[in-house]
Structure formats: C-alpha cells, structure tokens
Structure 1
Amino acid sequence: MRKILYHGSDVILKKPLYGVGKEDNDYGSGFYTTEDIEKAREWAWVNGSDKSAVCNQYSIDLDGLNVLNLDEHGTLAWIAEVTNHRGASDEFTQAVADKLVEMYKIDTSKADVIIGYRADDSYMNVVKSFLRNQLSVDEVDRMFRNGNLGQQVFIKSEKAFDRICFEDYENVSMNKDSHYGEADAKARREVGKFLHNREYAIQIDGFKPAGLTVKDVISTQYEYNKEYGCYLQEERANERNEFEIDDR
C-alpha cells in the first residue's frame, strides 16, 4: 500500500536522513509527516523563515513494514508514548508519568512507522493536567481530537526511511495575512481557558472529573477494548474475552 505524505519545513528536503532529530519529540528521533496537506502547509508557515516555507511531498510503500497505529491501543498508550519521550514538567508529574509508562506503554521497538496524535508544546498542558488528576482519559482524547492538531505519520526505522520517495514540493506564502496558524491559535486559547477553569473548579469548588482519571488507571490495571473503544479493568476484560470464547 502506497501513501502520499507531506512535511512542512523551511527547506526543500529531498532525502530525509535516518538517525537525526531530537529524541524528546513526540515519538522520539525520526521523520514526522502527515497525510493532510493543509496541516503540512500550516506547519511550514509556522516553522518557516521570513524567506522560505516549503511543503514537501513524499510517497512511501508500506507493504512489509510494521505500522503501529496508536489509536488502536487507546489514549493511555498515546500518553505513555509521548511522556516517555517528552518527559513531564515537575518531579511529581514525572513520577506519575513513569508509572503510566510502566503500565501502558506499547512496545515500539519493532515498529517501522507510528501513527498517532500530534502534541505541540501548548497541548502538552493537557497531558500535564491529566497527570495531575484534573482531567479524565476521555477528556484528553476529546481535546486532542477537537483541537484538530492532526495525525502524524512518524517514520521511525531505517527500513522505512529507505522507502521514502521525494515527489514534489510547493512554496507556502509567508504573507502575514495568511489564515495559517489561526485555527491552532484559537484552539490553544480555548484549551488554556478550559484548563484554567478546571483547575479553579477543583481547587476552589472541590470538583471531581467524571470518568477514569490517572489516579484510577495507575492504581488498577486497565485494558483497552478496541471493539467498544473503552477501557475495562483487566479482570473484567479477561472475563469478557472468556465469555466471547465460550459464546462461540
């Protein structure tokens, strides 16, 4: 299966190099792309210079590659993956993040490509609030989907890098009147306001988030049920599996 991918940059990038890039990005060191050309144009506009912003286009043959889609493993797997690479903001949340990684991180060592949410710096405040027990798992999921940050297709392995073919590029206008960045900026403002109000409600009014919080999921092991799109306690998940087997 061949996919068309895009990467926003300040340069024309014909041959992405394996083994370069920062380890503290969302999924580690590798090449971050998207299937959404508008998102790539937006990232080019945000990350480009005054003189240059480029949307690069590639194709990749995924046949024979190990593609890991974090959506299929639930929000906790995604949070664990991101915090494993990005870390947390303070000693307390780091301790919680470490426990979350221990319990819910998916083994990505054999993955050639990883697909999952994009988490920019401002949206990491959502993860931080979750680690502080201020948001539920479902709220984190909704906020990232509603924020429309876009899914990333992360090229991880050397084998996957060898499959990337440069197809074309386009220059993205750096006109200050451009609409690029407006949606992200609005989403960040709304998220910032929501998180501020939530913290106030918890501290002043004693509000408790509904649904599974980080306190719940690190005190009891949960499993993600892909069919129903929800988390079940490990014992209940096993009971459901046994029932389904017997029912056949």
Structure 2
Amino acid sequence: MMSDKKYLFNGKDISINVYVQIRTVVNVIMERTQKTFMEAVEIFYDSETYKQLQHTENGFWAESPDYIADEFFRERMNDRCRNKEGNNMEKILYHGSSMIVSEPEIRKARYTKDFSWGFYCTERRKQAETWSIRHSEIGYLNIYEFRERSDLKIKHFSTTDSEWLDFIAKCRNGGIHEYDIVEGPMADDTIYNYVEDYLDDKITKDDFLQLAKFKHPTHQISFHTIKALSCLEFIKVEEVHDEDE
C-alpha cells in the first residue's frame, strides 16, 4: 500500500502517519465486511472518504481509524440509498445502550437532552459503541434502518452555530418544540461544558462558537413522536465490550 506520494501538513512530512491510517482503515473494512485485503483496498481507494485523506490540509488524516471507517461506511450506505429509486430517503442508524432496544420508545427523563425528550440515534457507529459501554463493561449496539416520511416535520442543524446553540439552550431549560425529528451535532462532554457555561452567563455566544469550532464532529438524530418512531426498523443488535477493562 506504500507509494512514492509524499503527504505534507503545515510543511511537515506526515507520509508515514497517513499510510498507517490508510492501512488501519482497510483492516477495519476487512473486519466489518469479511472481504479480502485486496477487495477492501479496492473499495476504499474508490471512495470519496479516501479522496478526503489525500487533502491533508483538512485535518481528516488525524481522525481515528474507526472514525474514518465510519465515514466510509456512511458514504457507502448513502450511495446505496440514492441508487434505490433515485432518492436518499434511507439510512442506517445506531443506538448505543446497556440493553437491547428492539422497540424504541420515547421516555421522559429527569433531565432534558440536547433536543428535548426523545429516542436518540447516530449515523456514527463508533460514537454509539462508545456510548453503549459508558457505564458498563458490556453494551449493545442496536442497529436500525431509517426510512424518512414526507409528512414529518424535521429540523436539521449542519453545525454548532448560533441557531443550534439557541435551540439546545431552550431544550436544556425544559422548552419543547414542534418537530417530529431533529438532527444535528451532539453536545458531547466538552461541548456540554461550554453549553453550561453559556447558560450560566460565564461565556458569551461568540465565545462558545469559537470554542466549539474545532471540536471533534459528532452526530445525533432524535425522534420525538410515535409517527417519527414508525420510520425506524430494528435490524439487529451487536454486543460491545469495553476493551480497557
């Protein structure tokens, strides 16, 4: 897999780093698909995800191999959905939990979440795996197919911008909204601390937006009505083990 191409970042030669990333991602693809080494190389080299790695200035090469592999599989799933009846209405979603959730439901918890009470999933497999073992050594990766309906009211946030922050602030303070589904970045532990500082008037909105700008990208999609939950079809569950234990 080594070549004569030299990869640079801020004038520094990072070729070995990029080659190691590519090889490790190929190993992940082999493990998840049961393909041979050459088959995995071929499909990865033909992907937009691989092309992103060629542009080192975007910093994509510095992400974890699992994150890069998740982007590859997300790209593949979106391609399959677009090729199906010419639309992009289906996708695979993950829900990390300490239990098997074959029948998702909306539960009202003590504390409200980013987008209010709802059933939360993500397109990012590794993110869901990490969440599933947050409080236990063994967790479950619940996998669903999501088929979007045209009669749903859906709100999309593409980034942690001012509108996203205002929406989360409202929900965190107990506010409700009119949407069936909300999709956007997740306030992970670091971002959550920034949100709390903003709500407590310790930092300004501009301060928050600057602090959040360079954080690791996340994704969440929340379902807030029975109609929205009907779009999810349980496919299977996989057991997740905490390798650090």
TM-score, length of structure 2 as denominator length: 0.55
Alignment partner, residue 228 of structure 2: 160
CA drift at 1:142? 5.0
Out of 79-88 and 32-41, give the one that drifted further: 79-88
Give, in whole Å, the separation in 1 of the partners of 2:180 and 2:198: 29
- Alpha carbons of structure 1 residues 19 and 130: separation in structure 2 relative to 1, 3 Å: closer
Runs of 4 or more consecutive aligned structure 1 residues displaced over 6 Å after TM superposition: none
Tell me the secondary structure at the aligned position of residue 220 of structure 2: strand
**CA contact 1:117–1:144 (8 Å) conserved in 2:** no
CA drift at 1:66? 2.4
**CA contact 1:58–1:164 (8 Å) conserved in 2:** yes
Q: Percent identity?
A: 25
**Aligned AA (1:80):** D
Give, in whole Å, the separation in 1 of the partners of 2:92 and 2:213: 22
Tell me the secondary structure at the aligned position of residue 24 of structure 1: coil
What whole-Å deviation, never above 9, does each CA across 1:150-171 have from its counterpart, x for those lacking one?
Answer: 1111111211111210011111
Matched, 1:172 2:240: yes
Matches within 5 A, 1:174-213: 174-176=242-244
Alignment partner, residue 32 of structure 1: 120
Over the residues paired in the alignment, what is the CA RMSD in angstroms?
2.7
Alignment partner, residue 55 of structure 1: 141
CA drift at 1:145? 5.0
- Alpha carbons of structure 1 residues 22 and 29: separation in structure 2 relative to 1, 3 Å: farther
Give, in whole Å, the separation in 2 of the partners of 1:6 and 1:15: 13
**CA contact 2:119–2:223 (8 Å) conserved in 1:** yes
Give, in whole Å, the separation in 2 of the partners of 1:28 and 1:17: 14
Unmatched runs of 5 consecutive residues or more in structure 1: 89-100, 102-106, 178-248
Give, in whole Å, the separation in 2 of the partners of 1:21 and 1:57: 23
**CA contact 1:119–1:149 (8 Å) conserved in 2:** no
- Alpha carbons of structure 1 residues 124 and 79: separation in structure 2 relative to 1, 3 Å: same
Give, in whole Å, the separation in 2 of the partners of 1:154 and 1:20: 13
- Alpha carbons of structure 1 residues 149 and 44: separation in structure 2 relative to 1, 3 Å: farther
Alignment partner, residue 70 of structure 1: 157
Matched, 1:116 2:184: yes
CA drift at 1:19? 4.9
Give, in whole Å, the separation in 2 of the partners of 1:2 and 1:114: 16
Tell me the secondary structure at the aligned position of residue 118 of structure 1: coil
Give, in whole Å, the separation in 2 of the partners of 1:162 and 1:20: 18
**Aligned AA (1:124):** Y
CA drift at 1:32? 0.7
TM-score, length of structure 1 as denominator length: 0.54
Unmatched runs of 5 consecutive residues or more in structure 2: 1-88
